[in-house]
Chains A and B, each alone.
Chain A
Amino acid sequence: MIQVAHIVKSYESTKALQDISFDVVQGQLFGLIGPDGAGKTTLFRILTTLLLPDEGQARVGEWDIRKDYKKIRKQVGYMPGRFSLYQDLTVEENLSFFATIFGTTIRESYHLIKDIYVQIEPFKDRRAGALSGGMKQKLALCCALVHSPQVLFLDEPTTGVDPVSRKEFWDMLKNLKRAGITILVSTPFMDEASRCEQIALLQKGKVLAIDTPKGIRKSFSKPLWSVNSNTDMYQLLQDLNRYDRTASAFTFGESVHYTDRQEEGISEALRQYLAQQGHREVRIQPLEASIEDRFMELMSREDEP
């Protein structure tokens, strides 16, 4: 449904996208995972025909982003990262405005937006600018859906949104996927990646990996360990960073995720070292890597010369 082949885009000296390629099949929920500056928004702007790439090809459905831009615009829904609705119009006015622009009515696509719209309907006479963050996102999603698009582009829909609203938002996406809509969504939250069927990890305009969330987790290259002790985290991390066998040590919640330079006798040696440093109640357990673990592993490889 979406084909991206060797897309390159630069802004003056900044290389925003460097040879990006991936495919999204029809009905898939595909995630672009990466921090600010990864190139996510540039990619969205190219695919929604608001920006031309310097090199490369891309198609949305059967249409080419250069030649068929008018057709693409009719068939896609786009929710930009920055809240882009009319703050001075009410919830209902925003929705009917977007419906009118696309030559349709709220009624025609009501089946698609109903589940989301009922949550903001009690506030339909409130100005969009006065909505809370979570409700703004819901309204923006309704507006992006009002013309029953085949493809939905969502650029960081959950940034600045609290964990509860984020979870609700992903549940809504799951329902839209059931309705057959192809969804390309970006997020800087690594924990949201697992809600997608297929993900591309992006960093500084490059694709680090493309796979299923499970595939990404499985490709972590080393045995990973979870380490904690009764000492405070700052001390534990400092001691691990000084340890000559440490390959990587990153805080994850209440423990440190650790990999070793060697392959044998890891936990015994580490336990001994930490005991020498005065740590008590040391717990060292093998751990399955998360997407964030793998992302950081790939990042550190990129940084090597």
Chain B
Amino acid sequence: MNHEVAIRAEGLTRKFGAFTAVDHISFSVEKGEIFGFLGANGAGKTTAIKMLCGLLQPSGGKASVGGFDIFRQTGQLRRNIGYMSQRFSLYEDLSPYENLRFYGGIYGLPRREIKPKAEAVLKKLGLWEEKDQLVSALPLGWKQKLAFSVASFHEPAIVFLDEPTSGVDPVTRRQFWHMIYEAAHQGTTIFITTHYMEEAEYCKRVSIMVSGRIQALDTPGKLKEQYQVSSMDEVFLKLTR
């Protein structure tokens, strides 16, 4: 078994004035794990993710992501992670091909590598025919798969997904999860937030945040056992109500 640590947080804290948004959270995520980061609106998830992505300075505690310290090595950290939000972070006025090349350039991939790689990604996604259309004309499900490919184009060790499946049809949502499984299988660490509690079941382990703290952290199976309920939905309700 591989127990390499991809993310480690110890007592990570962020205050905004008198308000403590993230209150001493500690956890670790293994390499290749799909880790579900759940919580109610306003529980502090977004603040925590921003710190882990090197976009916001913590007020206290320690954390490393992909081996980089989130206080001192934010530049290297950002180059070694991928991030996809619910708003997709794709350029709608560019084509899929241009989006991939653009992000490849931003992340400093060598020019001669970008082209064949972008082409391979487009073929694999089944987007080859549409590679020169504007992204704005693509169906939502395809945008989503493309956004994930863009976020992982520079082969980051860790990909952060912030509510990536909002609003898509049930078949597309499952195809998207298939991509996530595949990436995890190849060793990419997946850190994901979602409001679909059923998707929480697809994660290897999940944490549930309540008012800035991690109230529960375990496999979905163990959490259900611990709270004596049959679904993650009920676990969530028990913890946050």
User: A268 within 8 Å of B by Cβ?
Assistant: no
Question: Interface size (A, Cβ < 8 Å)?
Answer: 35
Which residues on A sit within 8 Å (CB–CB) of B182? 234
Contact at A35–B201, with CB atoms within 8 Å?
Answer: no
Q: When A37-B140, A253-B231 are in contact, do A161 and B171 touch as well, CB less than 8 Å? A: no
| Cβ proximity bits A16-57 to B, threshold 8 Å, 1 near / 0 not | 000000000000000000111110000000000000000000
Q: When A160-B195, A253-B198 are in contact, do A203 and B233 touch as well, CB less than 8 Å? A: no
The 10 A-B residue pairs with the shortest CB-CB distance in the complex, in nearest-first order: A35-B169, A253-B201, A133-B41, A132-B42, A36-B167, A234-B181, A162-B40, A162-B41, A254-B201, A36-B140
Q: When A133-B42, A234-B181, A292-B170 are in contact, do A163 and B195 touch as well, CB less than 8 Å? A: yes
A residues near B (Cβ < 8 Å) are 34-38, 132-134, 159-167, 188-191, 203, 233-234, 237, 250-254, 292, 295-296, 299-300
Contact at B172–A35, with CB atoms within 8 Å?
Answer: yes
- Residue in A closest to B231 when the chains form the complex, CB atoms: A253
- Residue in A closest to B172 when the chains form the complex, CB atoms: A35
User: B202 within 8 Å of A by Cβ?
Assistant: yes
User: B168 within 8 Å of A by Cβ?
Assistant: yes
Q: When A188-B167, A203-B169, A295-B170 are in contact, do A164 and B40 touch as well, CB less than 8 Å? A: yes
Provide 7 A-B residue pairs closer than 8 Å at the C-beta atoms, listed in order of the A residue: A35-B169, A134-B40, A134-B41, A162-B39, A162-B240, A164-B40, A296-B171
B residues near A (Cβ < 8 Å) are 39-43, 86, 139-140, 163, 166-172, 174, 177-178, 181-182, 184-185, 195-198, 201-202, 220-221, 231-233, 236-237, 240-241
Give the contacting residue for B236; candidates A132, A159, A164, A292; CB below 8 A: A164
Give the contacting residue for A300; candidates B140, B166, B171, B221; CB below 8 A: B171
CB distance from B5 to the nearest CB of A (A): 20
A117 to B237 alpha-carbon distance, docked (Å) = 22
CB distance from A246 to the nearest CB of B (A): 14
Contact at A299–B171, with CB atoms within 8 Å?
Answer: yes
Having A35-B172, A164-B40, one finds 12 other A-B pairs with CB under 8 Å, namely A36-B167, A134-B42, A160-B163, A162-B40, A163-B195, A163-B236, A167-B237, A234-B184, A253-B202, A295-B169, A299-B170, A300-B171
Q: When A163-B195, A164-B240, A296-B171 are in contact, do A251 and B177 touch as well, CB less than 8 Å? A: yes
- Residue in A closest to B167 when the chains form the complex, CB atoms: A36
Give the contacting residue for A253; candidates B140, B163, B232; CB below 8 A: B232
Which residues on A sit within 8 Å (CB–CB) of B166? 159-160, 188
Give the contacting residue for A250; candidates B174, B232, B237, B240; CB below 8 A: B174
Contact at A234–B41, with CB atoms within 8 Å?
Answer: no
- Report which residue of B166, B171, B172, B197 has the largest number of chain A beta carbons within 10 angstroms of its beta carbon: B171
CB distance from B184 to the nearest CB of A (A): 8
